[in-house]
Amino acid sequence: MSAAMALRLLFGVLCGGVLAWVVWDRSERELADRAGREEHERPRFLPFGGYYYLPMMMLLYPILGVIVGGAQMAVQLTLCALMRVFLELGVYYVLLMAVMPWLRRWVSARVCAMLWLLPDWIYVFVGRLDLPTDGKKLVLHAPGVLVYVLLAIWVVGAVGVMVWKSGSHLAFRRRILKNAVPVTDRQTLHVWEIELERAWIRKCKWKLVRSDAVTTPLSIGLYNRTTRIVLPMREYTQEELSLILRHEIIHISRGDPEAKLFLTFCTAMCWFNPLMWAAMRKSADDFELSCDESVLLDEPQPVRRQYAELLLQTAGDERGFTTCLSATAGALRYRLKAVMKPEKKRTGAILIGLTLFVLAMCSGYVALAYDAQPGTQRIFDGQDLSAVTVSSVDPWNDPRGRDGTCMDEDALKDYLASLEPELYTEKLDEYASGEQRELTVMFDTPQGRLSVRLLDQAVHVARLWDGPDFHSDSYYLKTPVDWDYLDTLIAPLPGLGLVFPDGEMDSVLCNSLTRIAADETETVLLEPEDWRYDDYSNSAQEVQLLFSLPLAGPYTVTVEPLRGGARQTLTQDDLPGDCLPLTGPNAKYTVAADLQGEDGAVYHAQYVFIFRKEAS
């Protein structure tokens, strides 16, 4: 199991366990102290979670993108979130709609309602549980123009749905509250106080009003100060008032109006999917069934019969983000059956936890790669390749060795220019993991230093030049990197290691390097530089020389004391077991060796290091 999958598994178990405990705790809370005689700091009926996380994430992504990287970054971040949310919302709600009739028979209505809100937790997984690039099961590819056109159409549709729904809600609210009057009769207010006490609500900011514009009791408002419980202009018995007010108090306490806003947002996100609209209509039924279940906790059959009569007598218009006692024709059968013939059902806490765990484990397996452009633009920004030179090559997990050097700069630049990097909606691998190979090439360009890091199916480009143009980008490669071809362009850099008596080993910088091919062609890979050496301070009496490639001939070691003295040249025969004595004064050591390379090539390498004796 990879580290990424282990982290995903741990995160899914943790989130699922926490949510299962929350559901169990909420259920126990609603069943406890129904008379409300004890003092409680929090209301009896609580929301199962926040309903604004996913909407806030979707709104903040483009804003942060504009701030950090401009319009292009905003589009990329938005597509990153949309791609995942589109698929996961759509698939989840369609599956939930299919199994909900079965769940209603076995699981509490509270959990059935909560299952509709579970996708709000998707925000937790976006950017936190990303799989490596090679872990994606499906990568979709699309032209950039098509993606941008579809994104624009989606934005218009999503904004249109939200404006339509919000406008409908505000217009409905204004109509029913225009001539509404506060409730003042003592009987209704007395019942109101009793039900608030039953729900453990000590300080209530909601207003109780009557309006001639409604025919069924309902509640409207998304904030405590703006919430109104609206009663029609008709008389109810004390028992009926108790059931009606309890119903609306439970809706508001659980945050059902906010939940409806969240579900409307989800519908707007997937407005082009007709199954999403059907799923949202089904979700409203489960919120009402959940509320009915809590209203009638442990109530006798006569009270249940009276509540059923209220449902049959009440017909109303439920618009916007309101909660309403009346039942739609499609849901009335379910609600009456649940009211009159309640069945013992499971709490459903484990089901909620398992569902969230499955969401975590199944999230992020599909990605979108789009807007492919040639490497001449994406990597080199259209610069003249003849003015671009390779300054260093750093391979990782190269089976031939850790260090390397470029033997054909033009071929390497042409290969990178031939790539077609694509923008990607998911997080790309930052660095190689496991056996994955990685190659970092540093270029000197007319604009400044350029870093190109290649992985199997990703390329990271960092523009290190001065000024505001400094930035980095990551791209997806539809065709994996051709490591076999790159191996013909990049030769392993012969290495020299110093093995100390305590077993520690350190690599020495190569000062100069010339490659002599089998056809006697010489290529200077590293010009000698005075600064290219290693400096050691140690009390060791000797070190063993360890070459990374086989020797093609005897090597020599030149010893030059730092504070004057005769220079001494040692041959391989003078160093039994390749052990170099360090008994003399502080000195500079130059090791010259011919090493056998690939395809009959020979490397003439020179290594320089200074050794300073520590006082023992």
Indicate the number of domains in the chain.
3
Name 570's Cβ contacts closer than 8 Å, sequence gap at least 6: 556, 557, 558, 559, 580
Do 410 and 559 lie in one domain? The reply is no
Interatomic CA distance for residues 343 and 108, integer angstroms: 9
Interatomic CA distance for residues 115 and 93, integer angstroms: 9
Do 467 and 452 lie in one domain? The reply is yes
Domain-embedded: residue 373: no
- The DSSP code for 345 is -
- Decide which of 168 and 313 is more confident: 168
Domain-embedded: residue 399: yes
Q: What is the reported pLDDT for 45?
A: 82
Q: How confident is the model over 86-113, as a mean pLDDT?
A: 87
Q: How confident is the prediction for the chain on average, in pLDDT?
A: 83
Q: What is the reported pLDDT for 35?
A: 47
Is the pLDDT assigned to residue 75 strictly greater than 50? Answer: yes
**Cβ(372)–Cβ(422) below 8 Å:** yes
Domain-embedded: residue 516: yes
Interatomic CA distance for residues 304 and 51, integer angstroms: 31
Domain-embedded: residue 371: no
Do 443 and 536 lie in one domain? The reply is no
Q: Which tens digits make up the pLDDT trace of 334-368?
A: 677 667 776 777 788 899 889 988 888 887 778 88
Residue-range definition of the domain harbouring residue 511? 494-613
Q: Which tens digits make up the pLDDT trace of 503-560?
A: 888 888 888 888 888 888 888 888 888 877 888 887 888 899 999 889 999 999 999 9
Interatomic CA distance for residues 449 and 178, integer angstroms: 67
Do 303 and 444 lie in one domain? The reply is no
Domain-embedded: residue 515: yes
Interatomic CA distance for residues 211 and 361, integer angstroms: 49
Is the pLDDT assigned to residue 112 strictly greater than 70? Answer: yes
Interatomic CA distance for residues 87 and 270, integer angstroms: 9
**Cβ(211)–Cβ(317) below 8 Å:** no
Q: What is the reported pLDDT for 594?
A: 94
Do 356 and 505 lie in one domain? The reply is no
Do 443 and 501 lie in one domain? The reply is no
How many of the other CB atoms lie within 10 Å of CB of 199?
22
